[in-house]
C-alpha cells in the first residue's frame, strides 16, 4: 500500500474545506448584495413613482407633469427614463427623458422587470395610474450608466473579496502547515529514536515525554515490544555463554581420557577434533563478550596504531608457519570507532588469513586514508559461491571443514565492525587470493 503524508493530507483536506467555505461565503455575500441592491432599487423606483403620481395630469394630446415633480425626478440623473403606457401605446411626458423603447408589463398592480438590450441592462417598474383606467406610468433605469453604482459595487466587492479570500486561504494554509509540523515534531523525534534501535543498542527506548495523547498508546506498545526483544536477546546470549562455560569441563576430561587411554594412532586425530571444539567454545564465549560490549559513538581510534599493534602481536605466528605479513599505507587515519573493538576485528581477519592460506603466502595490511583497513592475501581465495552475508554467517567455515576452523572468526569480525559503526566487506584479491575491507566513518584530525 502506498504511503501518504499526514501533513499533506491535512493541508489538502483543510484547503478543500476552506475553499468550499469561501465559495459558499462569497455566494452568500453576493446573494445578500443582490437582494439588498434590488430592494434599494425598488425603493427608489417606488419613490419616483409616487412623485410621478402626484405631479402627472392629462392634457390634450398627451401628459404633462408639474415642474416641481419633474425637477425632483431629473435629480436622479440621466440614467432614468419616464413615460406613460396609455391604452397600449407609449406616450412621452413633457420635460422628462423617455428613452429607450422597451416592452413593459401592464398589470393590475406594480410590476418590476428587467430587460437586456445589447450590452445594456435595464431595470424598471410599471404601475397603474390612479384614476386613469388603461394607463400605466413607467420608470426605467439604465443599470450600465455611470450614475448607477449597484453593479459597480457588486463587481468591486467580487474582485476585492475574491482577492482577500485568496490571501486568506494562502495565509491559513501557511499557518496550518506550521501548526501541523510543530504538532508532528514529537513523532519525528520518536521515529529517530526507534531508528537507533539495533542488536547493539537494544536498551534504546522512545521518550514519551511531550508526546500527543493520540500516539501515547502506540509508543507505549513499541517500548513494551522492545523490552520483550531485549529480554529474549539477553536470554539467548546468556544461554550461549553458559553453554560454552559448561562445555569446558567435559572437553578437558575428554582430552585427558584420550591422552591416557587412546591409541597412539588415533590420538593426533582426536586431539585435533578436541582442539576444534575448544576453539568453538572460546569463540562462543567471545561472542557473548562482544554482545555485552558497549561502544561510545564519539570514540576516536587511529587505524594505523590499531594495525601496527595487531600485526606486531601476530607476526611471530606467521613466521612460524612460513608466511609473511607487512603493513602499508597512511601513517595516521583517525576514525570514529573503539580501538579495542577494531583491534579484535582485525585479529579475527588476520587469524583467518593465517589459518586458510598455505606456507609461503604473503599477507598485506593496508591502512587507507579513506578510513579503511584492507587485509589481502595471495592464497587460494574465497570459497566458490560464498560472499557477503553467507560468508559472515556463524559456523560457515566450520560446515566446510571442522578440522581447520571454528566457523566464527569472520562472523565475530563482522559483528565487531557493526558494533563500531563500520562495515566488513569481502572480495577477491588481484591477481589471486582474498581481500577483506574494514570500512569506518572518518573522524576529523585533532
pLDDT tens per residue, range 267-287: 777 777 777 777 777 666 666
Position 397 pLDDT exceeds 50: no
pLDDT band at residue 265 using 50, 70 and 90 as cut-offs: confident
Mean pLDDT of the region 312-325: 93
Position 315 pLDDT exceeds 90: yes
282 CB burial (10 A radius; 0-12, 13-18, 19+): middle
More confident residue, 294 or 435: 435
More confident residue, 148 or 128: 128
Question: Cell numbers at residue 66, please?
Answer: 408639474
**CA–CA gap between residue 134 and residue 429 (Å, rounded):** 117
Position 4 pLDDT exceeds 90: no
Is-contact 355 389, C-beta < 8 A?
A: no
What is the average pLDDT score of the chain?
A: 79
Position 164 pLDDT exceeds 60: yes
pLDDT band at residue 195 using 50, 70 and 90 as cut-offs: confident
Mean pLDDT of the region 194-223: 77
Question: Cell numbers at residue 329, please?
Answer: 599505507
Q: What pLDDT does 367 receive?
A: 95
Task: Name the segment(s) of the chain with CATH classification 3.30.565.10.
Answer: 294-442
> 62: closest CA among 87, 89, 92?
92
Q: What pLDDT does 15 receive?
A: 75
Q: What percent of the chain has pLDDT over 90?
A: 20
In three-state secondary structure terms, 1 is coil
Position 33 pLDDT exceeds 90: no
The hierarchical CATH code for the domain 6-153 is: 3.30.450
Q: What pLDDT does 185 receive?
A: 78
> 323: closest CA among 311, 305, 331?
311
Thinking of the domain 294-442, which architecture would CATH place it in?
2-Layer Sandwich (3.30)
Task: Name the segment(s) of the chain with CATH classification 3.30.450.
Answer: 6-153
Is-contact 429 305, C-beta < 8 A?
A: no
Q: What pLDDT does 154 receive?
A: 61
Task: Name the segment(s) of the chain with CATH classification 1.10.287.130.
Answer: 196-292
Q: Is the dihedral of CA 160, 166, 169, 170 positive or negative?
A: negative
Position 213 pLDDT exceeds 70: yes
Q: What pLDDT does 400 receive?
A: 44
pTM for this entry: 0.46
More confident residue, 129 or 162: 129
Position 18 pLDDT exceeds 50: yes
> 345: closest CA among 426, 421, 414?
414
**CA–CA gap between residue 189 and residue 286 (Å, rounded):** 35
Q: What pLDDT does 183 receive?
A: 73
Q: What pLDDT does 405 receive?
A: 44
**CA–CA gap between residue 127 and residue 113 (Å, rounded):** 11
Instruction: Select, from the ranges 171-175, 180-184, 186-190, 420-424, the one with the highest average predicted confidence (pLDDT).
Output: 420-424
Position 160 pLDDT exceeds 70: no
pLDDT band at residue 307 using 50, 70 and 90 as cut-offs: very high
Mean pLDDT of the region 305-334: 93
More confident residue, 326 or 186: 326
Thinking of the domain 196-292, which architecture would CATH place it in?
Orthogonal Bundle (1.10)
Position 369 pLDDT exceeds 90: yes
Neighbouring residues of 294: CB distance < 8 A, sequence distance ≥ 6: none
Mean pLDDT of the region 363-387: 85
Q: What pLDDT does 392 receive?
A: 66
Position 43 pLDDT exceeds 60: yes
**CA–CA gap between residue 264 and residue 270 (Å, rounded):** 10
More confident residue, 346 or 61: 346
Amino acid at each position: 500500500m502506498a504511503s501518504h503524508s499526514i501533513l499533506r493530507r491535512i493541508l489538502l483536506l483543510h484547503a478543500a474545506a476552506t475553499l468550499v467555505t469561501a465559495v459558499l461565503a462569497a455566494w452568500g455575500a453576493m446573494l445578500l448584495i443582490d437582494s439588498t441592491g434590488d430592494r434599494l432599487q425598488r425603493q427608489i423606483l417606488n419613490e419616483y413613482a409616487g412623485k410621478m403620481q402626484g405631479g402627472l395630469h392629462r392634457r390634450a394630446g398627451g401628459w404633462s407633469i408639474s415642474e416641481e415633480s419633474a425637477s425632483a425626478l431629473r435629480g436622479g440623473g440621466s440614467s432614468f427614463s419616464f413615460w406613460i403606457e396609455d391604452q397600449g401605446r407609449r406616450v412621452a411626458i413633457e420635460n422628462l427623458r423617455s428613452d429607450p423603447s422597451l416592452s413593459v408589463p401592464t398589470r393590475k398592480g406594480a410590476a418590476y422587470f428587467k430587460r437586456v438590450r445589447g450590452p445594456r441592462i435595464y431595470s424598471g417598474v410599471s404601475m397603474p395610474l390612479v384614476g386613469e383606467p388603461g394607463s400605466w406610468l413607467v420608470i426605467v433605469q439604465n443599470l450600465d450608466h455611470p450614475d448607477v453604482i449597484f453593479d459597480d459595487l457588486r463587481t468591486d466587492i467580487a474582485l476585492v473579496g475574491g482577492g482577500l479570500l485568496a490571501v486568506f486561504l494562502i495565509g491559513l494554509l501557511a499557518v496550518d502547515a506550521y501548526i501541523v509540523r510543530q504538532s508532528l515534531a514529537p513523532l519525528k523525534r520518536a521515529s529517530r529514536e526507534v531508528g537507533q534501535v539495533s542488536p547493539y543498542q537494544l536498551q534504546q527506548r522512545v521518550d514519551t515525554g511531550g508526546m500527543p495523547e493520540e500516539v501515547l498508546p502506540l509508543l507505549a506498545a513499541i517500548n513494551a515490544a522492545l523490552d520483550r526483544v531485549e529480554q529474549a536477546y539477553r536470554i539467548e546470549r546468556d544461554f550461549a555463554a553458559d553453554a560454552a562455560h559448561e562445555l569446558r569441563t567435559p572437553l578437558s576430561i575428554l582430552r585427558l581420557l584420550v591422552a591416557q587411554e587412546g591409541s597412539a594412532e588415533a590420538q593426533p586425530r582426536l586431539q585435533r577434533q578436541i582442539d576444534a571444539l575448544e576453539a568453538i567454545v572460546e569463540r562462543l564465549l567471545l561472542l557473548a563478550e562482544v554482545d555485552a560490549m558497549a561502544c561510545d559513538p564519539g570514540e576516536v581510534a587511529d587505524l594505523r596504531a590499531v594495525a601496527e599493534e595487531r600485526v606486531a602481536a601476530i607476526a611471530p605466528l606467521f613466521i612460524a608457519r612460513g608466511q609473511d605479513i607487512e603493513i602499508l599505507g597512511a601513517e595516521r587515519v583517525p576514525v570514529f570507532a573503539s580501538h579495542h573493538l577494531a583491534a579484535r576485528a582485525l585479529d579475527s581477519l588476520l587469524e583467518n588469513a593465517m589459518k586458510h592460506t598455505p606456507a609461503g603466502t604473503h599477507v598485506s595490511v593496508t591502512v587507507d586514508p579513506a578510513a579503511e583497513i584492507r587485509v589481502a592475501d595471495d592464497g587460494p581465495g574465497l570459497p566458490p559461491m560464498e560472499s557477503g552475508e553467507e560468508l559472515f554467517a556463524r559456523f560457515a567455515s566450520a560446515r566446510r571443514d571442522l578440522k581447520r576452523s571454528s566457523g566464527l572468526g569472520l562472523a565475530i569480525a563482522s559483528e565487531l565492525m557493526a558494533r563500531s559503526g563500520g562495515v566488513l566487506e569481502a572480495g577477491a584479491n588481484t591477481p589471486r587470493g582474498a581481500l577483506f575491507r574494514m570500512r569506518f566513518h572518518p573522524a576529523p584530525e585533532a
